Amino acid sequence: MAHDHLIELLDLDAEVLHEYFRDVIGWVGREAAERPHVVDLGAGSGTGSLALARELPDSTITAVDLSPEMLAHLRGRADAAGLGDRIRTVVADLDQPWPDLGPVEVIWAAASMHHMADPATAVASACGALRPGGLLVIAELDSFPHFLTGTANEEVERRGHAEAAKRRHEAGLHMHENWGERMRQAGFTSVTERHFDIDLRPPLPAATTRYAHASLSRMRHGLEERLSARDLAALEQVVAGLATRADLSVRTGRTVWLARR
């Protein structure tokens, strides 16, 4: 069930933030070699793998993830989209020595590198897996989406995000790593960094409500032991009333680094 909720959240993230994804995927497409083999690290529900396969019609994609459930979902999506013959899946723990992925021209890592136990080792492994001239693309979250800015519920959402950030820090996640510097230290050249400020204002499509529901529900249940009873009750009330709201916005930040070996 937990995987189902995360899959829904990842799919909605790509749907609601489609302009950001289109911009980044297009950038990668312009920089990539012809007929590239692309490795999607921490592929999750497959939004990156499918978008890259569409943007680069002569590419082949290897989707790597620790979760067989995620990769099964990805496989189903690829087959349904008619892309199954170009996308293969590999179950692997990327904190261990990487499997032989074959010659690789592009490595795509969207919101996955912060999960690695050792950032320097992860970037060095990516450098070692790429052909000379290959690209490493790291996309990370500067902030998780805020939906209630400017509303009476803004403060409880802000407190929830602050507590969730503390929990991620305690868990050892590398949320604010300087990935550009890590790339340079590993031997990459031509490191380019782009920041994306995403600010979607109401009225927004119905998918935004589902995105807010998935995100705020995950926050509410993930902070059961960390937020006050009052804040938990307030979040529960917000989630219950999302379907009738017309004041939801989406505010978040993403940074993308593109480097060439």
Spatial strand order of the sheet with 250-260 comes to 87-91, 60-65, 37-41, 104-110, 130-146, 250-260, 189-200
pLDDT digits (tens, 9 = 90+) for 159-170: 999 999 999 999
Mean pLDDT computed over 125-149: 97
pLDDT digits (tens, 9 = 90+) for 215-250: 999 999 999 999 999 999 999 999 999 999 999 999
Residue 3 has pLDDT above 80, yes or no: no
Is residue 139 within 8 Å of 192, Cβ to Cβ? no
Q: Provide the pLDDT for residue 2.
A: 59
Average pLDDT, the chain: 96
- Band of pLDDT at residue 1, cut at 50, 70 and 90: very low
CA-CA distance, 41 to 202, in Å (whole number)? 34
pLDDT digits (tens, 9 = 90+) for 32-56: 999 999 999 999 999 999 999 999 9
Q: Provide the pLDDT for residue 183.
A: 98
Maximum CA pair distance of the chain?
Answer: 56
DSSP 3-state assignment of 43?
Answer: coil
Q: Provide the pLDDT for residue 130.
A: 97
Q: What is the pTM of this model?
A: 0.95
Mean pLDDT computed over 58-82: 96
DSSP 3-state assignment of 20?
Answer: helix
